[in-house]
Amino acid sequence: MNKNAIGVFDSGLGGLSAVKQMLCAMPNENIIYFGDTGRVPYGNRSKDTIRRYAMQDANFLLKNNVKMVVAACGTVSSVAPDLESTLKVPYTGVVLPTCFTALKESKNGKIGVIGTTATINSHSYKTRIQLKNPSFEVFEQDCPMFVPLVENGFIDRDDMVVKLIVEKYMSNLKNAGVDTVILGCTHYPILKDAIQDFMGKDVTLIDSGKETALYTKKVLEENGLNNTDKTPGTAQFFVSDTPDNFEKIASLFLSKDMQNCVSRINIEEY
* Cα distance between residue 242 and residue 75, in whole Å: 23
Instruction: Pick the closer one to ligand DGL by CB: 94 or 262.
Output: 94
Active-site residue set = 73, 185
Q: Binding string to ligand DGL for residues 102 to 121, with x set by CB under 6 A, is what?
A: --------------x--x--
Q: Residue 186, interface with ligand DGL (CB under 6 A)? A: yes
* Interacting span for ligand DGL (CB under 6 A) from 126-134, 171-179, 180-188, 222-230: 180-188
Q: Residue 75, interface with ligand DGL (CB under 6 A)? A: yes
* Interacting span for ligand DGL (CB under 6 A) from 41-49, 155-163, 235-243, 250-258: 41-49
Residues 119-148 that bind ligand DGL (CB under 6 A): 119, 147
Structural contact between residues 143 and 115, judged by C-beta atoms closer than 8 angstroms: yes
Structural contact between residues 117 and 44, judged by C-beta atoms closer than 8 angstroms: yes
Burial class (CB in 10 A: 0-12, 13-18, 19+), 266: exposed
- The three-state DSSP-derived secondary structure of 73-98 is CHHHHHHCHHHHHHCCCCEECCHHHH
Conformation bin of residue 41: beta by default, left when phi > 0, alpha when psi is -120 to 50 = beta
Q: Residue 73, interface with ligand DGL (CB under 6 A)? A: yes
Instruction: Pick the closer one to ligand DGL by CB: 109 or 254.
Output: 254
* Cα distance between residue 7 and residue 87, in whole Å: 12
Q: Binding string to ligand DGL for residues 7 to 26, with x set by CB under 6 A, is what?
A: ---xx--x------------
* Cα distance between residue 93 and residue 74, in whole Å: 7
Say which residues have a Cβ less than 8 Å from residue 4's Cβ, sequence separation at least 6.
30, 65, 66, 67
Q: Residue 42, interface with ligand DGL (CB under 6 A)? A: yes
* Interacting span for ligand DGL (CB under 6 A) from 154-162, 171-179, 184-192, 254-262: 184-192
Instruction: Pick the closer one to ligand DGL by CB: 50 or 178.
Output: 50
Structural contact between residues 14 and 210, judged by C-beta atoms closer than 8 angstroms: no
Q: Residue 50, interface with ligand DGL (CB under 6 A)? A: no
Residues that bind ligand DGL (CB under 6 A): 10-11, 14, 40-43, 73-75, 116, 119, 147, 185-187
